[in-house]
Amino acid sequence: MQSNTASSPLLGCIADDFTGATDLANMLVREGMRTVQTIGVSATTPQDVDAIVVALKSRTVPAAEAVADSLAALSWLQQQGCRQFFFKYCSTFDSTAKGNIGPVIDALLQALGSDFTIACPVFPETGRTLYRGHLFIQDQLLNESGMQNHPLTPMTDANLVRVLQQQTPSKVGLIAYPAVAQGSEKIHTEIAGLRQQGVRMAIVDALENQDLYAIGAACADLSLVTGGSGIALGLPANFVKAGLLQPGAKASALPGVEGWSVVLAGSASKATNAQVAAWMEKHPAFRLDPLALARGEPIVAQALAFADKHLEQQPLLIYATTTPEQVRQVQAELGVERAGQLIEQALADIAVALQASGVRRFVIAGGETSGAVVKALDVHALRIGAQIDPGVPATASIATDGSPVLALALKSGNFGSVDFFEKALRQLGETRL
C-alpha cells in the first residue's frame, strides 16, 4: 500500500452532506490518496490515511448551525495534522436563501487566518460546467435543469457570483474562462490580483478536467479550497510535487460482506426517478406515502413486512421518490421540512430494522437521506473503494465494537446511470441480480 511521507494526513475535508463526502473521497482515491470518511467528527484518529473527509449534514440546517459544525470539523482536522483544507458542497451549488456556502466559507477563512479562497463546483464528468460565472448542467442552465424543483434547495439562479454574493458580506469575484484556459500560472496571477482588490472568494470557471488540474495547481498555497468534488482532482498532485505523497496508488480494496441487500431511495431528483422506474421493471419495490406517514399509519411496519417477504429471494427497493408535482402537493400539505423529515426518519427506522434482520448491503439514494440513514445505522467511518459511477464509490463501514461491516453506496440524487441500483449492488457483492 502506498504511503505518504509525512506521518499525518495531508488534506482535511469538510463536506456538507454524506453523498457529497463520498463523491469527494472517490476523487481523492482516484488520484492516489488513501481516504477515510468520518461521519461527523470522529472519536478515534483514522490510521493510514492521506486524506480525511468529515461528512456533515449541514447543507440545509440553519446557517449558524452549519458554521458551528464546520468549525468543529476544521478544528478536529487541524488536530489530526492536516496541512490544507477543503470545503465540499454540491456541484449544483445547492443552498438555501441564507446559505450555507457563503457563511461557512467566511467562518473557515477567518478560523484559518486566511484572506482568500476559490469556489468552483465544476464536475465535467457529470455535466457540470461553469462559464462566465454561470453554471450549466449538461446543456441547461442550473435554473432550467430540474434543480429549480429541488424539494429543499431549489436553485433558481445560474449566476453563481450573484448567488454567493447574496450569502456573504465578503466581496465575491470571478476568474473567468479566458484566464483559466491559459493555465495555472495565469490563474495564480488572477488570484493575486483579486486578493489585492479585496476579493475574499472567487467563483472559478472551468469546462474540462484539465482546467480543474490547472486550478488545483494554482491553489497549492491556499489554506482553504472550496468546491465540488471535481476541483479536488488537482490537489493530490501538489502533495506529490512537494514530496509529501507518493504517486500511483490504487484504491484500497474493501472487505466482502455476507447478508441481504436493499435499496433505499429518498431522493426526488430526475435521475433517481428514472432509476426507481428502471428497478421496478424487474424487481420488487415498496412506496412510502408521506401523507400516510403523517396520518400515523403503520407504513414502516408495512415496508418491513414487504421486505421480509422478499429479502431471502432477491434485493428490494423502498422509496419515497416521486414527481416534482407530487412533492409540491405533499409539501403544501405538510410543509417542506416536515415532509422531508418524516420520510428521512421512516427510511432511517427501516434501515435499522433491516440491519437487525441481516441486511448488510445498502444502496441509498439522496444526500439528506443518506445522512439520516447512515447516522441511524450508527456508522462512524467509511473506507472508500472503487468508483461505481462518476461521483459514487463503493464504501465499507469501519466497524467498531464488534458491529458488522456494512457495504454501502451513497448516491447523490442526481448521479448514476439508469441501471445504477443493480450496478451498485453487484459491485457491493450481491450475486443474485
Ligand X SMILES: O=C(O)[C@@H](O)C(=O)COP(=O)(O)O
| Residue window 404-423: x/- pattern of binding to ligand ADP, with contact defined by CB under 6 A | --------xx----------
Q: Of the candidates 102, 124, 133, 340, which one interacts with ligand ADP according to CB under 6 A? A: 340
**Nearest residue (CB) to ligand X, 275 versus 412:** 412
Nearest Cα neighbor of 206 from 248, 176, 185, 241 is: 176
Q: Of the candidates 174, 320, 351, 392, which one interacts with ligand ADP according to CB under 6 A? A: 320
Q: Does 339 bind ligand ADP (CB under 6 A)?
A: yes
> What is the rounded CA–CA span in Å between residue 348 and residue 354?
10
**Nearest residue (CB) to ligand ADP, 200 versus 375:** 375
> What is the rounded CA–CA span in Å between residue 75 and residue 68?
11
Q: Of the candidates 152, 161, 353, 399, which one interacts with ligand ADP according to CB under 6 A? A: 152
Task: Output the smallest distance, CB 333 to ligand ADP, in A.
Answer: 10
Task: Output the smallest distance, CB 149 to ligand ADP, in A.
Answer: 10
Q: Does 146 bind ligand ADP (CB under 6 A)?
A: no
Going from the C-alpha of 244 to that of each of 53, 102, 153, the distances in angstroms are 19, 31, 39
Going from the C-alpha of 66 to that of each of 91, 105, 248, 301, 317, the distances in angstroms are 18, 11, 36, 34, 32
DSSP string, 284-341: -EEE--HHHHHTT--HHHHHHHHHHHHTTTS-EEEE----HHHHHHHHHHH-HHHHHH
Going from the C-alpha of 74 to that of each of 12, 81, 202, the distances in angstroms are 8, 11, 21
Task: Output the smallest distance, CB 358 to ligand X, in A.
Answer: 27
**Nearest residue (CB) to ligand ADP, 121 versus 366:** 366
Which residues are near ligand X by CB under 6 A? Answer: 17, 19-20, 23, 90-92, 228-229, 366-367, 391, 412-414
Residue 410 backbone zone (phi > 0: left; psi -120 to 50: alpha; other: beta)? beta
Q: Does 56 bind ligand ADP (CB under 6 A)?
A: no
Contact residues for ligand ADP, defined by CB under 6 A? 151-152, 266-269, 272, 290, 320-322, 326-327, 330-331, 339-340, 343-344, 366-369, 412-413
